[in-house]
Amino acid sequence: MSIRRNIKDKAWRHILNFINYDNKIKNFPISAKQIKEARKTSDLDYQFEPRILCKQDCSKEKPDIFKKNNLSILSIKNGEYILTQSNIYVELNCKDIETIDFTNKTNDSVILNEFGEFNSENSLLDEMKYNGTLEYIFGETIKYGSFLGGRHRVYFKTILDEETIEINGTQIEIDGCYETEKSIFIIEAKNKFYENFNIRQLYYPYKYIYDRLEKKNIEKNIYCIFLHKNDENLYYHKYSWKNPNKMMDIIEIEKKMINLFL
């Protein structure tokens, strides 16, 4: 274990003891305020920053104490979380995945061609939009977008392992949102390879858009795409939900690997 992971694990061990965590409670509440207060009784040289401690985008980022106790953390409100024993990670099985060779379309953009280091999620999506990769993945022509950049707060109720969970003002960030004639595509993009991902990254934006369209009786397909890559290949996984009101009722529609040097 790295020094960084080791100290985060020690911090979480102290926090769980400080809040008197009870594993008999399936969804145990915890707040950013409690995490900060726990620091006052710790001798660790660590900031106890909730934003850092609670960010666990894949299961590898969970501290060992979480893994041993089958715990995950889920944001339910600004500054408030639950320690849940429910599984909230989706596996990304890339074995025997279909491989595609895709030839980039050329463009005459000065910015893309002269400043295109593409070391961020946004710049990666810009390149993919203008070289035709996104439309290839969508199978549809982009009409509008990207939309909904920046931060948003979401409010909805959902079901997790047959228990109703209320999300009341949790903040989300959307990497990319595109609209075609028939569909809306929400993208979570990563500049490294992942083995799984936290369902929150796709479901919260999905439910945010789904509820708005349903309220106005607007019928459009809503798809979520998880993009991740290594040095040589780009992987994409396309998802929707069988029951939009159940967080883990996610279904994988398609997955492919593209031999593409961006």
What is the rounded distance in angstroms from the CA atom of residue 14 to the CA atom of residue 102?
50
**Are both 132 and 183 inside the same structural domain?**
yes
**Are both 136 and 158 inside the same structural domain?**
yes
Number of residues that make up the chain: 262
**Are both 61 and 162 inside the same structural domain?**
no
Phi/psi region, residue 66 (left: phi>0; alpha: psi -120 to 50; beta: rest), is alpha
Give me the percent of the chain exceeding a pLDDT of 70: 90
The reported pLDDT for the residue numbered 5 is: 67
Can you tell me the mean pLDDT for 245-252?
97
Can you tell me the mean pLDDT for 61-81?
94
Of 106, 145, 139, residue with least CA distance to 122 = 145
| Number of domains comprising the chain | 2
Q: Is 9 a domain residue? A: yes
- The average confidence (pLDDT) of the chain is 89
**Are both 69 and 153 inside the same structural domain?**
no
Whether the Cβ atoms of residue 202 and residue 210 lie closer than 8 Å to each other: no
pLDDT at 115 over 70: no
Domain boundary, last residue among 57, 85, 113 = 85
pLDDT for 191-246, tens place per residue?
889 999 999 999 999 999 999 999 999 999 999 999 998 877 889 999 999 999 99
pTM: 0.90
What's 128-154 look like in SS3?
A: HHHCCHHHHHHCCCCCEECCCCCEEEE
Can you tell me the mean pLDDT for 141-166?
91
Q: Report which of residues 108 and 231 the model is more confident about.
A: 231
Q: Report which of residues 62 and 4 the model is more confident about.
A: 62
pLDDT for 11-69, tens place per residue?
999 999 999 999 999 999 999 999 999 999 998 888 889 999 999 999 999 999 999 99
Q: Is 202 a domain residue? A: yes
Domain boundary, last residue among 62, 85, 108 = 85
Residue range of the domain that includes 118: 99-259
**If residue 204 lies in a helix (H) or strand (E), which one and from where to where?**
helix 200-215
Can you tell me the mean pLDDT for 150-171?
94
Q: Is 94 a domain residue? A: no
**Are both 24 and 112 inside the same structural domain?**
no
Q: Is 43 a domain residue? A: yes
The reported pLDDT for the residue numbered 262 is: 46
The reported pLDDT for the residue numbered 75 is: 96
